[in-house]
Structures are given as C-alpha cells and as structure tokens.
Amino acid sequence: MHRLVVSLFVFWVAAAHAAEPATNELAIEVLGEELSITHFPADGNRLVIWVAPGYGSHERAWAVAQAFADGGIEVWHVDLADSLFLPKSTTTMRSLDGRHVAALIEAVQARTGKAITLFSRSYGSLPVLRGARLWQLAQRVNAGEDPYLTGAILFSPELYSEIPALGLPPVFDPIVDATNIPLVIFQGGGRNNRWQLGALVERLSTGGAQVYTEILPGVTGIFYEGDTAPATLEAWGTIAPKLIGITALLEKTPTPLAARELTPSESPAGTGLDTRLAVYKGDPNPRPLDLPDYEGGHSHITDFRGKVTVVNFWATWCPPCIEEIPSLNRLRQRMQGKAFDLISVDYAEDRRQVAEFLQKVDVHFPVLLDADGSVSAKWGALVFPSTFVIGPDGKIVYGVNGAIQWDSDEVVEMLEGLL
C-alpha cells in the first residue's frame, strides 16, 4: 500500500510539471483592474474558476488543474492577492468583499459560454462565497433559464470572521448564513477546524444551501507540499478523478438565483490571537485527558487539583507551536520543585509523525496524542497553539490563543501567584 501511495504521489507531482506547457497566462479586466489568470484550456462545456487562498505554492494545484483540463474541464486560476498587489495573508482574504469574484464569473461566462464551478480552500472560501452572493444579486435572467453558476467546491474552508477568545465558540462570517448555492466541502481530518464542520454545515443548510461533505482522515493540507503523511498521499492519488465527477454532480443540483439577506454580525469582545496570558472566558471545568503518549504509555487525568497545570495543545506542522517549545522547556525548569505540571497534547497526528519530530526537537515535557482531534475540540482548542492554565482548585484560570514567551518573569509570576 505504501508503495502504491508513493507511486500515485510521484504521478501527480510529474503531472504538475507536465501541466506547465499546457497552460497560458491571460489577463482580464474587471472593475477597472487587471487580474492575472493561469489558464488551463479544455474543449468541454464546463469551467472551474479557482481562487487561490493567498499563500503557499501552486505545485499541487497545477496538477489537479491539469487533471481537470485533461477531463474536459477548463480552469481559470487566479491569485487575487497577487493581482491586486495585496499582502499574501489570511487578513487579506478576510478583507476581500467578493466583488472581483462576482465580476470574474460574469466576464468568464461571457467569454466562454460555459457552466462555471467555483473552487478554493481555506480563507479563499470567504471571497468565493461573497462573490457568489453578489453574482446572484446581479442576475437578470429570463424565466426558466438555467443559471450558469453551478456552485462551489471548498477544501477545509476557514469561514470565521474572528478568532474567538480561548474557550468560546467560533465566530462565523455573516456570509455563512447568507449562502444558498450548492457546495461540496472536503474537510481535512487533521485540520484545526475539523470539529467545527458540523456547526458550519448546520448553518449553511439552515440558509438553504445544499451541502455535500467528505472528511479526509489524517489529512492536514492536501494542497500543501509539506504534508507528506501516508493518509495525505493516499487521498491525493484519488482526488482529481473524484473532483471531475463532483463538477457533474453540482451541475445537476439547482442553484438559486435569489440571494439571501446578509446580516452583519458584531464581533464579541476579546477576539483575535493573544499576545499574553489572559483571564479565561470559557467553561472553567477542564475536560478529562485519557490519551496515549508517543512512547506507548497512557495518561488518564480526571482530577487536576492540588497543583498548577499547564495544558498545551499543538501540532508539528504549526510554526508558532514549535517556536514556543524552548520557552515551555525553560518554564518547566523554572517551576521545578513546585506544585506544577506541564502537559502537551498533539493534535490529530500519528505516532510516527510525532516521534520523528521529537527526534529533531527537544521537548522536555510529556506529549500525549489526540489521534482524531476530538479531545482538543472538547477543550475548545480552535487554533494552535492553544494553552490552558489550571489552578490548584482544578479550575481553568488563564488561557492563551497563540504562542507566547512562557518563561518570562510576567508569566512565571502569574503562575506562582496561583500557588
């Protein structure tokens, strides 16, 4: 099986390089601005507008785009951040109101006459859904005419308007409730938003969207070249033919032309990533930890009373998580001899991945394995790292969304103050 998976991966990497001669660069003007398009031509009557998420490389995307083209589906790939001379960041993608996507849908259809499916991943999903709704608002079609927008395919969509304070539920963007076009969502099982999929689909369905979902177990980022986990390579080997079939499915699913009302939401106080240890705002009762460790042992913790306990949720693919490990090591050293404990929980990675990482990086505290991420979800860890500080009374007192300097005098004084 491993040899087959590697062979499939090599095939798709080769396809990425083979795709280059079959593409051409286009420029199309919308809203008075020129968008640069990487074009994968095809003779069929279907077309994919692929909106890049604003970061990362395109190698795997090119392989799938070429597979679309080989299957008779034309692809227009656009990086809005690049074309609009904006920073490549999640903040940029959150800020795009969808106008360029809506205008591109109309311009491409006028030029090709083809049925159009939108495609994106992660934070690129926000301008895609906003653009689809604006397209609906702009339609003036004759009664009985079929809409040419068939829906959208999204991979692990990040549809939050704000990152909530640690322990509080996510704040979905208003476009979630205002979306009613057909959607196919592929959710990476190793992504930090895996356990929010149920709430997301419920909100979308309530708004009238027909939503098809598939979870990709063990996959963090199927379009991320750095994700070479066996589960990812296996999923990668089958994804292109599957996507070609899905475009046909979406074409048969009716797309409403009437847009839903968009109701702006107010961001609650305390949103965003933390830069320092903060008072915890969620349920103060910690969930049990009944998990194996990477060395084959097991921890069963139901009572955190009698000491100060720091519980750190992280992943090996998370740069801020890795950056704060040395300061966590030093914190443990500074608190030695006191009623203190430090535990870490790795999110949704297998023992081999974690063991290989720990051979390269010194970690001086226990590492437990949350194989499917469900325990992290119960604790309310939405971004990584997420860290909880439990006082001697067994209640969560402090928390932090993001990485901090754990051995700073300020943090140590706060922890010692709990003793």
Give the Cα separation of 192 and 300 in Å (integer): 24
pLDDT at 354: 93
What CATH number labels 2-251? 3.40.50.1820
What CATH number labels 278-418? 3.40.30.10
pLDDT at 145: 57
In the chain, which residues fall in CATH 3.40.50.1820? Answer: 2-251
pLDDT in tens, 357-398: 999 999 999 999 999 999 999 999 989 999 999 999 999 999
pLDDT at 267: 58
Per-residue H/E/C for the chain: CHHHHHHHHHHHHHHHHHHHHHCEEEEEEECCEEEEEEEECCCCCEEEEEECCCCCCCHHHHHHHHHHHHCCEEEEEECHHHHCCCCCCHHHHHHCCCHHHHHHHHHHHHHHCCEEEEEEEHHHHHHHHHHHHHHHHHCCCCCCCCCCEEEEEEECCCCEEECCCCCCCCEECCCCCCCCCCEEEEEECCCCCHHHHHHHHHHHHHCCCCEEEEEECCCCCCCCCCCCCHHHHHHHHHHHHHHHHHHHHHHCCCCCCCCCCCCCCCCCCCCCCCCCCEECCCCCCCCCEEEEECCCCEEEECCCCCCEEEEEEECCCCHHHHHHHHHHHHHHHHCCCCCEEEEEEEECCCHHHHHHHHHHCCCCCCEEEECCCHHHHHHCCCCCCEEEEECCCCCEEEEEECCCCCCCHHHHHHHHHHC
Contact indicator for 389, 310 with CB cutoff of 8 Å: yes
pLDDT in tens, 135-190: 999 886 544 456 899 999 999 999 988 788 898 888 899 999 999 999 999 999 99
pLDDT at 271: 57
Low-confidence spans in the chain with pLDDT less than 70: 1-22, 56-57, 140-146, 265-272
pLDDT at 413: 96
Give the Cα separation of 322 and 399 in Å (integer): 18
| Neighbouring C-beta atoms of residue 198, cutoff 10 Å | 10
Which residues, at least 6 apart from 286, have a Cβ–Cβ distance to it below 8 Å?
304, 311, 379, 388, 390, 394, 395, 396
Chain mean pLDDT for the chain: 89
Burial of 94 per CB tally in 10 Å (0-12, 13-18, 19+)? middle
In the chain, which residues fall in CATH 3.40.30.10? Answer: 278-418
Structure tokens at 173: 């963007």
Which residues, at least 6 apart from 66, have a Cβ–Cβ distance to it below 8 Å?
15, 16, 18, 19, 22, 23, 40
